[in-house]
Amino acid sequence: MARIGVIGAGYVGLTTAACFARLGHTVVCADVDEVKVAALGRAEIGAHEPGLGELVAEGLRAGRLRFVLGNAEALSDVDFVFLCVPTPTGRDGAADLSAVHAVLREARGAVRSGCVLVIKSTVPAGTTVRVAELVGRSDVRVVSNPEFLREGHAVDDFLRPQRVVVGSEAEEAARRVVALYAGTGAPALVTGSASAELVKYASNCFLAMKLSYVNSLAELCERVGADIGDVTEGMRLDDRIGASFLEPGPGWGGSCFPKDTRALLSTAEEAHVDFPLLRATIGTNGHQAHRVVAMVRDAVGGSLGGARLGLLGLTFKAGTDDLRDSPALAVASLLAEEGARLTGYDPCVSADCGPVRVLDSAEAVAAGADGLVVLTEWPEFAELDWPNLAAAMTTPVIVDTRNLLPVEKVAEAGFHLVSLGRPTAPR
């Protein structure tokens, strides 16, 4: 088993450290946040990620996992160093690699001979080669190993991945990294570093394209009297298309899709490659929040000024407490700009979010509301007591941007229901 250092105890770094410890490796995970390091040492992960807290506790008990303040211990006397630091969007849309470069300056003189530096952070094509040049040591290899972790499913995605992608110009080092995942049984792709780096961007951007496509298709369905549910069901039966990412919604968000689409477009522009499909994907997503607001405006009678609206769901998707680039908050901001008064409920959010006053139940949000807006696909929202909610509201109107709710039950309770891409019954 290997000795592994992980730099960064954020979402990716923490999952990487805990899961490698589960696979039997000895892992030291470093972060610069003293409070976070202390909490992790007590197995307090501070994030909603099923199974991750248990894995951290298990690794600590077994002595295979440690958390340290500062990078020194995670860089020295280890066989592999995984860089799991943020690469946010810079001012020009490209990925900001300043955190990567900061670690490299420290690693250059700290890592032992024979160590493999593994870039798990999402970085543009060509970064691994440039990093190897910056490190400037022939006895240290640099490898790209992009992550494919879905929030809410990260542990399962790491321990039972669909694929492991490793890229390097030094194949022996790449094979050593592949061997770390031997316990997962996953198929591995070993390729050049630029190809590995592009796999991550290409995958996320393709999924974003599917979502933007189905949202435009839902708008078309509304105009021509078609049902997006039936249309996408017909599409799913074609195995060339696949079943996933064909649900309309208020737009895509989160920590990956917004920054990765912009970063890939920036890479294409830098390489003088026109990529209108990706540009349209981003533009379509920007339009979606405005489209949802227009639907809400129409549903409550044509004006949002002074309207009391209850929002169901605030996170960017169900199964996580992540509010980063949440389309629900983008919609909320636009509703507030038009004068709506907003309350909200989300199973994983307790603090107020911008213009949204967060309450502790869907029933509290419905009380006295002029309308409800479903913005996140939490399964429990489909099981609410609809007659009770309708009786509590000033006007029983629901705009379901996730097509999650049981149409017949909601209608029987007296609601006027508006869904994306579906015919709306007359009032």
- The annotation status of 321 as a binding-site residue, yes or no, is no
- Cα–Cα distance measured from residue 54 to residue 18, given in angstroms and rounded to the nearest whole number: 9
- The annotation status of 161 as a binding-site residue, yes or no, is no
Judge whether 197 and 127 are in contact, CB under 8 Å: yes
The DSSP letter of residue 320 is -
Residue 309, both tokens: 């609206």
- The annotation status of 151 as a binding-site residue, yes or no, is yes
Q: Which residue, 55, 63, 59, 64, is CA-closest to 2? A: 64
Separation in Å, CA 160 to CA 46, 157, 375: 24, 5, 30
Judge whether 293 and 125 are in contact, CB under 8 Å: no
- The annotation status of 409 as a binding-site residue, yes or no, is no
- The annotation status of 352 as a binding-site residue, yes or no, is no
Question: What sign results for the dihedral spanned by CA atoms 298, 382, 161, 112?
Answer: positive
Separation in Å, CA 128 to CA 74, 122, 422: 20, 11, 47
The DSSP letter of residue 31 is E
Q: Which of 115, 221, 256, 353 is catalytic?
A: 256
- The annotation status of 253 as a binding-site residue, yes or no, is yes
- The annotation status of 210 as a binding-site residue, yes or no, is no
- The annotation status of 245 as a binding-site residue, yes or no, is yes
- The annotation status of 149 as a binding-site residue, yes or no, is yes
Q: Which residue, 240, 262, 287, 234, is CA-closest to 92? A: 262
Helix axes 276-299, 327-337, angle to 10 degrees: 50
The DSSP letter of residue 303 is -
Q: Is 256 labeled as catalytic in the residue annotation?
A: yes
- The annotation status of 122 as a binding-site residue, yes or no, is yes
Alpha helices, DSSP H, located in 32-137 = 34-41, 52-62, 72-75, 98-107, 127-135
Residue 40, both tokens: 């992790």
- The annotation status of 249 as a binding-site residue, yes or no, is yes
Residues contributing to the annotated binding site for NAD(+): 31, 36, 87, 122, 151, 259, 324
Annotated binding site for substrate: 148-151, 200, 245-249, 253, 317
Catalytic residues: 256
